[in-house]
Amino acid sequence: MDRPFAITLPVGSSRANHTGSWRVERPVYVDHLPPCNDACPAGENIQRWLYHAESGDYEAAWRILVEENPLPAIMGRVCFHPCESACNRVRVDEAVGINAVERFLGDTALARGWRLPDPGPDSGRRVLVVGAGPAGLSATYHLRRAGHAVTLVEGAARLGGMMRYGIPAYRLPRAVLDAEVERILEMGVEVVLGRSVKDIAAARDEFRADAVFLAVGAQLGRRVSIPAGDSAKMIDAVTFLHQVAEDDPPLLGRHVVVYGGGDTALDAARTARRLGATDATIVYRRNRAKMPAHAEEVEQALGEGVTVRWLSTIERFEGERLLIEKMALNAEGFPEPTGELEELDADALVLALGQDTDLSLLEGSEVHVADGVVPVAESMMTDVPGVFAGGDVAPSDRTATVAVGHGKRAAKGIDAFLGDRSFERPERHPLAAFERLNTWYYADAPRTQRPELERIRRQTNFEEVVGGLTEDNALFEARRCLSCGNCFECDNCFGVCPDNAVIKLGGGDRYEIDYDYCKGCGICVAECPCGAIEMVPERI
Amino acid sequence: MLQQLEGSRAVAETVARCRPEVVCAYPISPQTHIIEAIGAMVKDGRLAPCEFINVESEYAAMSVSIGASAAGARAYTATASQGLLFMIEAVYNAAGLGLPVVMTLANRAIGAPINIWNDHSDAMAVRDAGWIQLFAETNQEAADLHVQAFRLAETLSVPVMVCMDGFILTHAVEAVDLIDQAVVDSFLPPYEPRQVLDPDDPVSIGAMVGPEAFEEVRYLAHLRQLDALELIPSVAEEFAALTGRASGGLLHPYRLDDAETVIVAMGSVLGTIKDAVDARRATGERVGVLGVTTFRPFPVAAVADALAGARRVIVVEKAFSLGMGGVLATDVATASPASGPELATVVAGLGGRPITRRDVEGVLGRSAQGTLPRLSFLNLDEDVVARERARMAASRRSGPFAENVLRDLAAGGANR
Amino acid sequence: MTETRVHFYQVGSFAVGNRLLSDADRTVQASRERTNSLDAGHRACQGCGEALGARYALDAAMRATGGRLVAVNATGCLEVFSTPFPETSWRIAWLHSLFGNAPAVATGVAAAMRAKGRDDVRVVGQAGDGGTVDIGFGALSGMFERHDDVLFICYDNEGYMNTGVQRSAATPPTARTATSEAVGADPGNVFGQGKDLPRIAMAHDIPYVATATVADLHDLERKVERAMTFRGARYLHVLVPCPLGWGAASADTVRLARLAAESGFFPVFEAEHGVVTGVRRIRRRVGVEEYLRPQRRFAHLFAGEGRPDLVARLQLIADANVERYGLAPEEE
Amino acid sequence: MFQVRIHGRGGQGVVTAAELLAVAAFDQGRHAQAFPSFGSERTGAPVVSYCRIDDHEIRTREPIDEPDAVIVQDVTLLHRVDLFGGLAPSGYVLVNSSQPPDGLGLGELVARLPAGHLAGCPATELALAHVGRAVPNVPLLGAFCALTGEVPLDALARALRHRFADEVAERNVAAATAAFGLVHDHEEAHRAPTA
């Protein structure tokens, strides 16, 4: 160097000074489990598919979605989205409309004819799936992906189970159901319709199945004894909806009363309205807050003219007249009879008091049944090796989404069983708690957009006639995702480091800390919007 | 071309021919005429390209010069007295950074008490700053020294201060042969910096240097000063070859051959002293004069050589270090030959007090008689001093002594 | 169904980068090609706001000028921690002269460039608040009034941190420094003193004056870029929290800068030719207490029974800023 | 060497007068040195300037204590400032006045100096008439040329033309010439009896 000694220095020479030695704590990148993923009964990687949807790559998003769930257009309509209840954004403004985006992706896939992934290489093993509801279909899909042959046996005339016979068409258009079911069948499935399996062991032998997945659902409407006159027309909701689904609706008359407080009660009441009932009244013994039905469903039902008599029980049903007793909440919040009676006009009473499973096919088998359901291990296997059970027959919440999740887990359990491997659920990351987020960085929805957004969100959770999201709105909604717990490459850490000690790898490869220079100040951690960096004590 | 013009004007014209690219101006007597004239030349386009900047202080004047020089421009400014002290931090800084700024110092006393007239206190206050300090004897030399100053500064990467006596030279109208532009251009090539702020080849200039290298940096700067001792005479010779004028160099000896008594001095007073020496020589006294042109770096060897034959050396200087004595004299003593001449310091001309030929002859006379003390103050009014001392002894609140002295003088010494 | 264009980009323009934005809309800092004008290996404290601010501003200036930039630095933390011999952290042409003369030195560089016909090369002068509002003030004012072609950036950490946290004319009232100790009836720095340099700069009628913080990178970079569209003297005043001097956690540097702006205690605005042309309105307004509490230099306001009277006076300052510049969030 | 000391007040061109005189002497191939009294005086304050003229190089820098000529640009300075200290026995005195020296109380000087070495000149009036400004310096220089013969009038005229532009130069030359004429005639009148 011919420049003046010490007065003039060549640029960037300080890189020789490794200030990383100052550090007592080091930042490390982590991946935490987003609450939406955590809450999803189907085990969807919601945040990941939203990530792709955010950039408008809907096919990539859909492909990640169907890694877990082959029925997004259906779930985008019927799922009660616990993901949204868990969403951290609730504490910023409102939850991300995950369900609506899922539906958008599902519909887009159907419209563009995207196909599910090809089946895996033939394993030479066969699995008997009993019941073609969401659990059975989900299991079928995942088993095919693993390369196992599937024989799908369904007692009804058509596939879909409760999705077809329990959920009214205004919530789930049959064209959507058919299309998503058909797409699974395209993977190559042996289907046997109209065949009720009576003996599980015999059927296993008959179909030369190496394993069985039992997913017959809960098809029996629960009855209670209500003093009633001979002329009183009573029907359980499951039967009622099933008949409607088969285009053979019973004649209920103009005044229909539905007894119960679950979603099925609402479906029954709303269906009755559509069938011409001038009034459909739900009688429920507790108050609105205690109603097990989902709030949106209640809202929609009320909007359609369904009336609800909360805090009421049915005392007696004599043809055309129903006597109900008013209840009052006691100090503990439980309803107690008041003795106050009231009459209602009623041509028919629909009982929506819950469903039971028909497990007669297990009689004589060694499969253990307890409290009307089949206890299963984590792999969804019953006491009997090779026999798995899921959906409504397994102890769990009885929703289509849970069933889809069961189907997936059972398929993995079966795959492990067939491969003589032990089943292990993948390790779950710690939960990405709201407290880890720096929500400052998330954009507020622009003011001009908010009324529109609210309208859209209203639509998304409404019934079919309202329609799905436009692409722009789906994109907008996807972009509301906070990416809790997982780096989404916002460059904050790269930018806010006073020591240039964050290396940007780019192109989806995120970042690395340059520990040669990182002094451990922790700004990157503090300013990471999604909590994907944490400080750990320096190893000494 | 020989012209009859004011010293400041001669310097301004000469500096302009050195093609400075950035000139800073802040008014302070007695240098102001110089930058006024340059400003006019820039404004009317005679001097171009050149940025003439009216700064808000001398501190800024030197700072702007530092920035300009570091960016590769030839930078010039002028100041005096308080102005130099106000910029002193930047004066040191320019030298420390090795930036070849050239500055005219129109020498003036330093207050308090405020005094606008000539002496050398200002130049002495920055003698350790790392600048080359050249003292002009005449306006001709003042003008010529600026051309040499740019050449020296840029060759060595050391700033150069051309010192000329305020008013006595800056405001004197006398004949000066202004150097031709072509001669300057042949003598002074465009500035090629050793370090420069260039976005295409970025460097950091002005790093913090700790104990591990500071001494080396300072020593390197000292070596550059020693290099200057070699370069200054050769540049002066080259200049003489082009112009026929003996401006610059380390020393100006006058009638030193066989001189037993040598007066050492700097600046314009040398003319008066030469007249006095001639007068004494006419009476047969063996006296001579040694003019010091290059004060920093101090030409120790050359001074020793020049004084080798002297028996008495009298340093007449326009500054002194309070509580010690002569400043130039101290350097001369350091340089004095082994023969050990008798050394006397005469502090003279402070705050513009005239030094006449008669005064100098008086000094020579006292020296010859052996009555010249080692340190004396020329024409000091001992009575005034004694009376103020008495006032101070008599009363605690004797008041400001400068004002007391003025009042005393105005009253014709009756104010006892 | 109404079609609505998407204007919403997840983190919008709050984060440093955003894969959903076009390159042009991302910050300079989001780019792997950024200059890193101040490079790694410097000796600033952990979490130094000034190191951050300097890289932000100079990288933006480098982009705005296509790399034709020279920086002049006053003495201070930034200079000391960036260039201890034999290492420099600068990747740009950089000069340090003295504490109080950076504006004048920058003038000199600009003048040299002009004389050499290098109008493409632009000059940035930079100093801390001491070098700007105190010791460098005369030189800065001179540079302003001459309209020299210099962008001067003050990295304001509200005190003399390099020398061990002493009070400057930019230290806020009640703040404890080594020369305004938190003792006596009026602990910390006194009320009613200090210089509002952005407004003083505006009074010079220079083409551009702006304030910014290290908490809003987009805003800061845009202001540097805007400043570079003007010729003449320009001034940018950047609030850079100092973990050491403020007694704050090193991780809180950006957060404190954000709270300073969101409380209204530090108004973020810009002015052209002496007229305020834009403000960064508060997004989520907070009281000054939220800003002050995490800083030990204000600890005496909250210790024991606290000094709610002094906090209230500080709140009045924030309120006055909100009023003067119209900083209130749109909802208010 | 011929040394001139000029007294006046700030604003009367005292310093310029010395400089013009030096330039005129230089024009004659002589060495000349002009310098002010180095004050920081303001308009109206007493001011002194000096000019040395010689045929050899002038090295000395000391103020002129023993002038060969004293020019008084403002009669109000008379008797207030020591105007004539050190004046050579055969020196010259030129006063800006239309009055005779006796009337100015300079009888002692008249007696001391050789005949014809003391002259008055209504320089202010001449300046007003020719230049339009009450600056007496240039007419006094014209008078100086006539009084001392140290510098010829045409050299002064060239110095004036060097210093001033066009019309201003000519007006000054006219003023100097008029003054020269007045003093010259007066001197002739003095010499006539002795001739």
User: Is A9–B204 a contact, with Cβ atoms under 8 angstroms apart?
Assistant: yes
| Residue C44 distance to chain A (closest CA, Å) | 8
User: Is B207–A5 a contact, with Cβ atoms under 8 angstroms apart?
Assistant: no
Contact criterion met (CB below 8 Å) for A273 and A367: no
**Is A290 a domain residue?**
yes
Domain count, chain D: 1
- Going by pLDDT thresholds of 50, 70 and 90, the confidence category of residue D192 is low
**Is the model's pLDDT at A237 over the cut of 50?**
yes
Predicted confidence at residue A476, as pLDDT, reads 84
**Is the model's pLDDT at C332 over the cut of 60?**
no
Predicted confidence at residue A236, as pLDDT, reads 92
Among chain D residues, the shortest Cα distance to B137 is held by D59
With helix as H, strand as E and coil as C, how does B83-140 read?
A: HHHHCHHHHHHHHHHCCCCEEEEEECCCCCCCCCCCCCHHHHHCCCCCCEEEECCCHH
Contact criterion met (CB below 8 Å) for C217 and C56: yes
Is there an interface between B and C (3+ Cβ pairs < 8 A)? yes
Same domain membership, residue B217 and residue B90? yes
Predicted confidence at residue A273, as pLDDT, reads 86
Q: Which of A338-347, B191-200, B372-381 has the lowest mean pLDDT?
A: A338-347
State the average pLDDT over residues A44-60.
94
pLDDT digits (tens, 9 = 90+) for C56-86: 999 999 999 999 999 999 999 999 999 988 9
Same domain membership, residue B41 and residue B153? yes
User: Is B73–C112 a contact, with Cβ atoms under 8 angstroms apart?
Assistant: yes
- Report CA C21 to chain centroid distance, whole Å: 26
**Is the model's pLDDT at C163 over the cut of 90?**
yes
**Is A350 a domain residue?**
yes
**Is A433 a domain residue?**
no
Same domain membership, residue A174 and residue A144? yes
| Residue B73 distance to chain C (closest CA, Å) | 5
**SS3 assignment, position A236:** strand
Predicted confidence at residue C331, as pLDDT, reads 65
Which of A305, A337, A354 finishes a domain?
A354
B-chain residues near C163 (CB < 8 A)? none
**Is the model's pLDDT at D187 over the cut of 60?**
yes
Domain count, chain B: 3
Is there an interface between A and C (3+ Cβ pairs < 8 A)? yes
State the average pLDDT over residues D83-95.
94
User: Is A4–B203 a contact, with Cβ atoms under 8 angstroms apart?
Assistant: no
Predicted confidence at residue A450, as pLDDT, reads 32
**Is the model's pLDDT at A69 over the cut of 90?**
yes
Contact criterion met (CB below 8 Å) for A390 and A382: no
State the average pLDDT over residues A191-196.
94
B-chain residues near C80 (CB < 8 A)? 208
Contact criterion met (CB below 8 Å) for A258 and A221: no
B-chain residues near D34 (CB < 8 A)? 172-174
Q: To probe the interface with B, which of D20, D23, D61 has the most B CB atoms within 10 Å?
A: D61
Q: To probe the interface with C, which of B59, B63, B76, B217 has the most C CB atoms within 10 Å?
A: B63
Read off the pTM: 0.91
Same domain membership, residue B27 and residue B158? yes
Give the rounded percent of residues in chain B with a pLDDT score beyond 70: 99
Residues 457-496 of A with CB under 8 A from C: 459, 467, 470, 472-473, 475-476, 479-481, 483, 488-492, 494-496
Helix H or strand E encompassing A77? helix A72-78
Predicted confidence at residue C8, as pLDDT, reads 58
The domain that holds D86 is classified in CATH as 3.40.920.10
User: Is C51–A495 a contact, with Cβ atoms under 8 angstroms apart?
Assistant: no
State the average pLDDT over residues B295-304.
97
Q: How many CB atoms lie within 10 A of CB B322?
A: 6
Is there an interface between D and A (3+ Cβ pairs < 8 A)? no
- Going by pLDDT thresholds of 50, 70 and 90, the confidence category of residue D191 is low
Same domain membership, residue B257 and residue B224? no
**Is the model's pLDDT at D38 over the cut of 80?**
no
Among chain C residues, the shortest Cα distance to B214 is held by C85
Same domain membership, residue B280 and residue B215? no
Predicted confidence at residue A445, as pLDDT, reads 58
State the average pLDDT over residues B332-353.
93
User: Is C111–B213 a contact, with Cβ atoms under 8 angstroms apart?
Assistant: no
B-chain residues near A6 (CB < 8 A)? 207, 209, 213-214, 216-217
Main-chain phi, psi angles of A498, to 5 degrees: -70, -10
Residues 13-52 of C with CB under 8 A from A: 13-20, 26-27, 29-30, 32, 36, 38-44, 46-49, 51-52
Q: Which of A5, A6, A11 sits opposite B203 (nearest CB)?
A: A11
Helix H or strand E encompassing A257? strand A255-259
Q: Enumerate long-range contacts of B334-340, CB under 8 Å, 24 or more apart.
A: B334/B298, B334/B300, B335/B298, B335/B299, B335/B300, B335/B301, B335/B303, B335/B304, B335/B307, B336/B303, B336/B304, B336/B307, B337/B304, B337/B305, B337/B307, B337/B308, B339/B308, B339/B309, B339/B310
Domain with A145, as residue range(s), is 126-219+357-418
C-chain residues near B64 (CB < 8 A)? 104-105, 107-108, 111
Q: Which residues of chain B approach chain D closer than 8 Å at the C-beta?
A: 4, 6, 29-30, 116-118, 165-168, 171-175, 268-272, 274-275, 352, 354-357
D-chain residues near B167 (CB < 8 A)? 35-36, 38
The domain that holds B162 is classified in CATH as 3.40.50.970
B-chain residues near D59 (CB < 8 A)? 270-272, 274-275
The domain that holds B274 is classified in CATH as 3.40.50.920
**Is the model's pLDDT at B307 over the cut of 70?**
yes
The domain that holds A173 is classified in CATH as 3.50.50.60
**Is A275 a domain residue?**
yes
Among chain C residues, the shortest Cα distance to B42 is held by C115
Domain with B364, as residue range(s), is 251-377
Predicted confidence at residue A457, as pLDDT, reads 42
Domain count, chain A: 4
Same domain membership, residue A229 and residue A253? yes
pLDDT digits (tens, 9 = 90+) for C79-97: 999 998 899 999 999 999 9
User: Is C139–B56 a contact, with Cβ atoms under 8 angstroms apart?
Assistant: yes
Four-CA torsion C130, C133, C134, C135, nearest 10 degrees: 80
Pairwise pLDDT comparison (C261 vs C23), residue with the higher score: C261
Main-chain phi, psi angles of D7, to 5 degrees: -110, 140
Same domain membership, residue A517 and residue A494? yes
Distance between terminal CA atoms of chain B? 57
Helix H or strand E encompassing B60? helix B58-70
User: Is B173–D23 a contact, with Cβ atoms under 8 angstroms apart?
Assistant: yes
Same domain membership, residue B64 and residue B198? yes
Same domain membership, residue A204 and residue A109? no
Predicted confidence at residue C4, as pLDDT, reads 38
Is there an interface between B and D (3+ Cβ pairs < 8 A)? yes
Same domain membership, residue B16 and residue B60? yes
C-chain residues near A457 (CB < 8 A)? none
Same domain membership, residue B270 and residue B320? yes
Same domain membership, residue A451 and residue A406? no
Same domain membership, residue A88 and residue A72? yes
Domain with D134, as residue range(s), is 2-194
- B69 has a chain C CB within 8 A of its CB: yes
Same domain membership, residue A306 and residue A362? no
User: Is B206–A3 a contact, with Cβ atoms under 8 angstroms apart?
Assistant: no
- Going by pLDDT thresholds of 50, 70 and 90, the confidence category of residue A224 is confident
User: Is D62–B354 a contact, with Cβ atoms under 8 angstroms apart?
Assistant: yes
C-chain residues near A459 (CB < 8 A)? 1
Predicted confidence at residue B339, as pLDDT, reads 73
Predicted confidence at residue A11, as pLDDT, reads 87
State the average pLDDT over residues A453-461.
38
Predicted confidence at residue A516, as pLDDT, reads 97
Same domain membership, residue B406 and residue B289? no
**Is the model's pLDDT at A527 over the cut of 80?**
yes
Predicted confidence at residue C2, as pLDDT, reads 35
C-chain residues near B21 (CB < 8 A)? 111-112, 115-116
Q: Which chains neighbour B (Cβ–Cβ under 8 Å, 3 or more pairs)?
A: A, C, D
Predicted confidence at residue A449, as pLDDT, reads 35
Predicted confidence at residue A459, as pLDDT, reads 33
- Going by pLDDT thresholds of 50, 70 and 90, the confidence category of residue A451 is very low
Among chain B residues, the shortest Cα distance to D30 is held by B175
CA quadruple A497, A498, A502, A503: dihedral positive or negative? positive
**Is A430 a domain residue?**
no
A-chain residues near B97 (CB < 8 A)? 7
Pairwise pLDDT comparison (C171 vs D46), residue with the higher score: C171
State the average pLDDT over residues C310-326.
98
Closest CA to B67 of B42, B36, B93: B93
Among chain B residues, the shortest Cα distance to C114 is held by B51
pLDDT digits (tens, 9 = 90+) for A245-294: 888 889 888 999 999 999 999 999 988 888 888 899 999 999 988 889 98
Predicted confidence at residue A444, as pLDDT, reads 78
State the average pLDDT over residues D67-71.
97
pLDDT digits (tens, 9 = 90+) for B118-141: 999 999 999 999 999 999 999 999
Same domain membership, residue A237 and residue A320? yes
Whole-number average pLDDT of chain C: 94
- Going by pLDDT thresholds of 50, 70 and 90, the confidence category of residue C9 is low
| Residue B28 distance to chain A (closest CA, Å) | 32
Q: Which of A6, A494, A523 sits opposite C30 (nearest CB)?
A: A494
CATH of region C23-325:
3.40.50.970
Same domain membership, residue B307 and residue B208? no
CB pairs under 8 A between A and B: 41
The encoded tokens of residue C130 equal 């001491």
- B217 has a chain A CB within 8 A of its CB: yes
Helix H or strand E encompassing B35? helix B32-43
- Going by pLDDT thresholds of 50, 70 and 90, the confidence category of residue A373 is very high
- A4 has a chain B CB within 8 A of its CB: yes
ipTM greater than cut 0.85: yes
Predicted confidence at residue A471, as pLDDT, reads 79
DSSP C70-135: EEEE-SSHHHHHH-BTT---B-SEEEE--SS-HHHHHHHHHHHHHHTT-TT-EEEEEEEHIIIIIT
